[in-house]
Amino acid sequence: MVQNLLINIDTNNNGIDIKVHPNPVKNALYVEKDVATPTNYILYNTAGSIVLRGSFATLTKTISVENLPRGMYYLQMNGEVFKVVKF
């Protein structure tokens, strides 16, 4: 049975509440912020290689991961790192 978990971290750097879900993810990762500020993101694999990068300045962002192989990834955004599992 696969559970949908929500990662919710309030960053200490700028007080922006960021939610990343679902986790584990199959096709699309959803990012929600409570403030529409410019945000850069980088998705790394466990070897430390960058597999995706981008930016957005809206409250929400959909990041497609459907073409990535199964495994663990790290989403870096606003000085925080979110552990994400792709199945």
Beta bridge partners of 64: 28
Query: pLDDT (tens digit, 9 = 90+) per residue, 17-31?
Result: 999 999 999 999 999
Whether pLDDT at 6 is above 60? no
Whether pLDDT at 83 is above 80? yes
pTM beyond 0.95: the answer is: no
Whether pLDDT at 36 is above 50? yes
Report, as an integer, the average pLDDT of 35-47. 96
Tell which CATH architecture fits domain 5-86: Sandwich (2.60)
CA atoms within 13 A on the CB side of 63: 28
